[in-house]
Amino acid sequence: IWVVPVLLVTGIVAQLLTQIFPVTPTSPLPPTGTTIGLILSLIAGVLVAPAGEEILFRGFATTAWVRGLGRTNGLVLGALFFAFAHVLTVTGTNAGEAFQLAFVAFAGRIPVAIALGWLFLKRGTIWASFGLHATFNGILLIAAEAVARSAG
């Protein structure tokens, strides 16, 4: 259920960012157009990435920051760390474009990063944030694949 408002807010933020900055971010797992490609993307995006990221960003980082700095500061730092880590490989044709792409990717991930951290802290279990993360990624992957297949 939490994925619906998170997708909505993330979509609005992404739309606003792409209106302000004239760049088009690329997906880390772009549509493949094949069933086996979709299955492999789903394994990576719904199982592997959320498991590793939830352990690192919520299980270790957010937990440590919450213990040392309090819930709000820990949540914010964990979200910023999550968003920052997702732009480390962003590139562009020039420095200006790369910066804009990185900023759009960073800011566009803040809503889901905050939601994941908040749910983790509220529920007190990594399984809650893992479930939201996996569902969020899965919906985006399936939607991107559907759009790519209908266009082709």
pTM given for the model:
0.94
Per-residue pLDDT of 14-55, as tens digits, reads 999 999 999 988 888 889 999 999 999 999 999 999 999 999
**pLDDT at residue 9 is higher than 90:** yes
Q: How many H helices and E strands in the chain? A: 7, 0
